[in-house]
Amino acid sequence: MRILGVIPARYESSRFPGKPLIDIAGKTMIERVYGQCLKSSLLSKVIVATDDQRIADHVSLFGGNVAMTSNKHQSGTDRCAEVANNSPEFDILINIQGDEPMIDPNQIDLLCKCFEDPQTSIATLVKKISTNEELFNENTPKVILNKNNEAVLFSRTAIPFLRGKVRETWIEHYTFFKHIGIYGFRTETLKNLTKLPLSGLETAEALEQLRWIENGYRIHAAITDQESQAIDTPEDLEKLLKLIQP
């Protein structure tokens, strides 16, 4: 089973332009993400997928693999699919977030292992929610799992609703999970997913994985107790620098 790790990276960002090339204690963010991916014991190859020549040149400079992709893509998933179309030698593709410079390679391996089951076509990670701040934060997607650890539903709201329980005590009465945004796909499945039209649930929640569920795809979820910090804003960068610098 040959597994390709793909890091989608774009230069433009409404909240943090040029984010992949920002300096984090002597290395750019994209180089740090790439380096963490190389520590995975199960990835056969790692590629940065971008439509920006500045990012491509930088990746080549530090010796990384890079693929230039279309600037028409609406999501990282679409960018990964283009790489999959040009990489027929790989069975599995792991879509790795390009803004998590401290991503744990063990999480990547945990996701890769989901595909040891031949029935798994899509996989992702989830983590138990431990605070009300996470539970009721609309920027933290929640997920309901069935008994086979498959995602039944994702939502920005707290799900399920606990009838008859005081809202502030919900996490004392039920195990809630949040979504960790790393995906794995069988390459043929990934190619098919990008051909699906927008769905009602996806439009309502702005969560692309709902399109897959609405079209009958099963998403296996592995449970992790780890989470890395995403860098979405300059403020996030300042918080991370305080953690990694003496």
pTM of the model as a whole: 0.93
* Residue 128 located in a structural domain: yes
Which residues of the chain are modeled with pLDDT < 50?
246
E strands present in 1-147? 3-9, 23-24, 27-28, 45-50, 66-68, 92-95, 122-128, 142-145
Enclosing domain of residue 158: 3-228
Query: What single string gives the DSSP state of each residue in 196-237?
Result: SPP-HHHHHHT-THHHHHHTT--EEEEE-S--PPP--SHHHH
How many structural domains is the chain composed of? 1
**Which contiguous run of DSSP H or E holds residue 177?**
strand 177-186
Tokens read off for 66: 């890079």
Q: What is the pLDDT of residues 9-64, one digit of tens each?
A: 988 776 778 889 999 989 999 999 999 999 999 999 999 999 999 999 999 999 99
pLDDT for the residue 11:
86
* Residue 86 located in a structural domain: yes
* Residue 241 located in a structural domain: no
* Residue 160 located in a structural domain: yes
The neighbouring-strand residues paired with 143 are 154, 177
CATH number, position 194: 3.90.550.10
Nearest to 227 by CA among 159, 172, 181, 174: 181
Nearest to 35 by CA among 57, 56, 5: 5
Query: Any idea which residue has 């069988």 for tokens?
Result: 186
* Residue 233 located in a structural domain: no
Burial 163-202 (b: 16+ CB within 10 A, else e): eeeeeeebbeeeebbbbbbbbbbbbebbebbbeeeeeebb
pLDDT for the residue 58:
97
Nearest to 221 by CA among 127, 129, 103: 127
The neighbouring-strand residues paired with 27 are 24
Cα 163 vs. chain centroid, distance in angstroms?
32
* Residue 22 located in a structural domain: yes
Nearest to 71 by CA among 4, 8, 5: 8
CA–CA gap between residue 207 and residue 25 (Å, rounded):
33
* Residue 243 located in a structural domain: no
Is the separation of the CB atoms in 126 and 221 below 8 Å?
yes
pLDDT for the residue 141:
95
